[in-house]
Structure 1
Amino acid sequence: MPKISALIITLDEAKNIASVIENITFADEIIVVDSFSEDNTVKIAKSYPNVTVYQNTFIDFTSQRNFALGKANHEWILFLDADERVTEPLKNEILNTIKKKQTADAYFFYRKFMFKGKPLHFSGWQTDKNIRLFKKSKAQYTEERLVHEVLKVKGSKSSMKSKLIHYSYSSYDSYKKKMVNYARLKAKELLQKGIKPNAFHFIIKPTFKFFYDYIIRLGFLDGRKGIIICYLNALSVYKRYPILKEISKN
């Protein structure tokens, strides 16, 4: 059986770290790269004998993921966020896939977005997917993207049938904080591209984002949950531009 390196990057994930570690004990090694958390994330992670913990200053998601990738000892990489969980069917699919003689070089996982422990069915998340399983020798995260990072794969791609569970929304404040942090990194990315914010960015883009997710992507069918998620995702788009305007001055 080919061996798997499971990688997790963390910052103040004390509420999630034990659950995600215990969720992926089928991996041959588990590596946690922490951004100097101020809670008990590191202490909890180190309490597991099968976990190796590194601490590395966070610059952006791409560099942090590539740092973690450099610590992996095995060819197959399973890269999870602390708020993601592998279901039993997905675990079996992973293990059955990597032992085949012929495999793809990377696999997309479709994700089921959880809102306070209950699934969100629409609001733009119904087709959400990310590459979470791949061969180390065939992939690297692209440096052009600082957030919502992209894995560049030199080879073939496929998709898993079973879904990954994504416990992204636990509370309004925590999700809002996450969206604002994403906006800050996105602003830095836009600065590198020479984008100058104007009325289109401040008004049209966030408004379009909300109505696209709420109407076109059927967020209204998620009821009050849909309104909250669509609003906060649109807020993240809006927040990029005041931040971009401020850092452009500096």
Structure 2
Amino acid sequence: MPLRLSVVMIAKNAADLLPDCLASVAWADEIIVLDSGSSDDTVALAQSLGAQVHVNTDWLGYGIQRQRAQSFATGDYVLMIDTDERVTPELAQSLQQALASPQPGAVYSIARRNYFLGRFMRHSGWYPDRVLRLYERARWQYNDSLVHESLACEGAPVVALSGDLKHLTCRDFADFQRKQLTYASAWAQERHQKGKKASLGGIFGHTLGAFIKTLLLRGGVLDGAQGWLLAVVNAQYTFNKYTELWALNRGYSKKA
């Protein structure tokens, strides 16, 4: 019997993104969408496009929400994607080949092609940006991290798939900045809860390091104007993370 694939995603206010996302995985055996409390037409639209939709508004972080979404899946394998991602035809073919000849216990990495201010980046640490997204449902799941969650699969062999996952990372700069600030705050809260500290020197050291790493070490300069801008954005994000942690350490910001 052929192995079944469940495409799983979490969503909130993604009505403008869902049609293309779901169309790119329409060939899967089932599509699971866990909505986090949308105020737009995300739920109705996903249902009309053939997805199985569930709702859970008790937000405990990205990792927990992905675990909840996976709990509704019934396939042998899970492909975890986001609403702002699209599976290219080349990747779809590679995924289907992997399911036809699976390697038991292995997890599969996928190259993401990230979009930033009108350009799919080719350098800057944003390509190939491999992520672990295809895995056995009964064997693996995501960790509990509030933000920057990852698949908990330590020791598993990793198989690289061909084809790209298009990621519409930054279509609107203001919205992207708001998300970055949210991620930075969640990162700082999580680190603070673990007793981590930040110093003034550390703030500026990490910030400068992020700029240099993106622009020079990761070849951002080869991405033209977007490479320079992304280097600044990454430095800004790093500055926000460590400054928020510094403020939490000293009681200048509210704990979650």
TM-score bracket for this pair, using the shorter chain length: over 0.9
Structure 1 contact 139–151 (Cα < 8 Å) conserved: yes
Q: CA deviation at 1:30?
A: 0.7
What is aligned with 1:151?
151
Structure-to-structure mapping, 1:178-193, within 5 angstroms: 178-193=179-194
Q: Which amino acid aligns with 1:240?
A: K
What is aligned with 2:234?
233
Deviations 1:103-153 (Å, cap 9, x if unpaired)? Answer: 55210001111224532111111241111111012212222x322212112
> Equivalent pairs: percent with the same residue?
29
SS at match of 2:163: coil
Q: Which amino acid aligns with 1:146?
A: L
What is the Cα-based RMSD across aligned positions, in Å?
1.7
Deviations 1:77-117 (Å, cap 9, x if unpaired)? Answer: 01101111111111011111111164552100011112245
Q: CA deviation at 1:246?
A: 4.3
CA distance in 2, matches of 1:32, 1:227: 36
Segment drifting more, 131-140 vs 112-121 = 112-121
Segment drifting more, 25-34 vs 150-159 = 150-159
Deviations 1:158-212 (Å, cap 9, x if unpaired)? Answer: 1102221111110211221121121111112211221122113321111110111
Structure-to-structure mapping, 1:36-115, within 5 angstroms: 36-48=37-49, 50-57=50-57, 58-100=59-101, 102-103=103-104, 105-115=106-116
Structure 2 unaligned residues grouped into runs of 5+ = none
Q: Which amino acid aligns with 1:87?
A: T
Q: Report how many residues are paired.
A: 248
What is aligned with 1:217?
218
Deviations 1:192-239 (Å, cap 9, x if unpaired)? Answer: 221122113321111110111111111112121112222222222111
Structure 2 contact 119–226 (Cα < 8 Å) conserved: no
TM-score, L = length of structure 1? 0.92
CA distance in 2, matches of 1:190, 1:200: 18
Structure 1 contact 117–167 (Cα < 8 Å) conserved: no
Q: CA deviation at 1:31?
A: 0.7
